[in-house]
Amino acid sequence: MRINNKEILADTQDTKIIKLGIHAPYIAQKAQPGQFVVVMVKEEGERIPLTVVDTDKNEITLILEEAGLSTKLLGKLNKGDSLYALVGPLGHPADIKNYGKVILVGGGVGIAEIYPVAKGLKEKGNYIVIILGARTKDLLFLEKELKGISDELYITTDDGSYGRAGFTTDVLQELLKSGVYNLVYAVGPIPMMKKVSGITRDSGIKTVVSLNAIMLDGTGMCGSCRVTIGKEVRFTCVDGPEFDAHLVDWDELEKRNRIYDEKEKHICKLYGL
């Protein structure tokens, strides 16, 4: 669980995105696109889920945004340091097959999660259209890697500092009006995925989202990551993390993911982070 390498992908006044290469040979041999690991930085810390972005022999690649206490503590580790605990791969792999024409939408740190799926879909012969969104140019990452596996690549920034000013969903609406697509796959902030779901619902296009529900143990025991899918309770860690976007109770998911916002801010202040 040693950190082999560390790279700062983005660093602004209020956001830092970090790429880690971690020695984890058994996970590297088994991980498939769409799966994740659960990380503990220190013994008294919490467990956090992170997507396996890539694998290379004995190493897995993780990308994280410093958002709460645990991700900030993880971001402070350097090459040569080791994690306290690491388990995976967890969750169901993405359903990788030849669909035809596929649109992948990645927003914020969700860009990291669409990379392995886009790579897998391309290897199956799909026509790949990728839409990336970030708040500003400085927070965009993996552009070069995703450009190399996409047939069409669109970039949006909230402030217009790079690519097109606006949101990923603006581009998605335009593409769906002018062409026929067989699958839409989206990962990013909940409001973005919710909007994607609303756009594609009327057209009947199969739409898959990878959910970022609050997670604790990663094995379905604690129930922290429960979500309502088609009016039935499911657990993101063992039943997902990917679900039919049109069946997700988005309002419930938004509320549950805000439960610990104030407590998280408070504990970060206690640690001086």
Per-residue pLDDT, 182: 96
Pair (194, 249) in one structural domain: yes
Per-residue pLDDT, 260: 62
Q: How far is CA 119 from CA 104, 106, 108, 162, in A?
A: 11, 14, 18, 24
Pair (126, 198) in one structural domain: yes
Pair (21, 110) in one structural domain: no
In a domain, 124, yes or no: yes
- Tell whether pTM > 0.85: yes
**Rounded-to-integer distance, Cα 220 and Cα 198, Å:** 29
SS3 content of the chain, % helix, strand, coil (to 5): 30, 35, 35
Per-residue pLDDT, 203: 80
Pair (126, 82) in one structural domain: no
* Number of folded domains that form the chain: 2
Pair (168, 247) in one structural domain: yes
Cβ atoms of 70 and 27 closer than 8 Å:
no
Residue that terminates a domain, selected from 70, 90, 110:
90
Residue that terminates a domain, selected from 38, 71, 90:
90
Pair (85, 176) in one structural domain: no
Q: Please choose, from the candidates 174, 95, 163, the residue with its C-alpha nearest in 3D space to the C-alpha of residue 132.
A: 163
Average pLDDT by stretches of 10, the chain with 273 residues: 94 90 96 94 86 94 89 92 94 95 95 95 97 94 95 95 94 93 95 95 91 80 87 90 94 80 66 66
**Domain containing 11 — which CATH number?**
2.40.30.10
Pair (246, 218) in one structural domain: yes
Pair (162, 229) in one structural domain: yes
**Rounded-to-integer distance, Cα 134 and Cα 155, Å:** 8
**The tokens of 38 are what?**
């659960």
- Domain range enclosing 138: 101-257
In a domain, 271, yes or no: no
In a domain, 264, yes or no: no
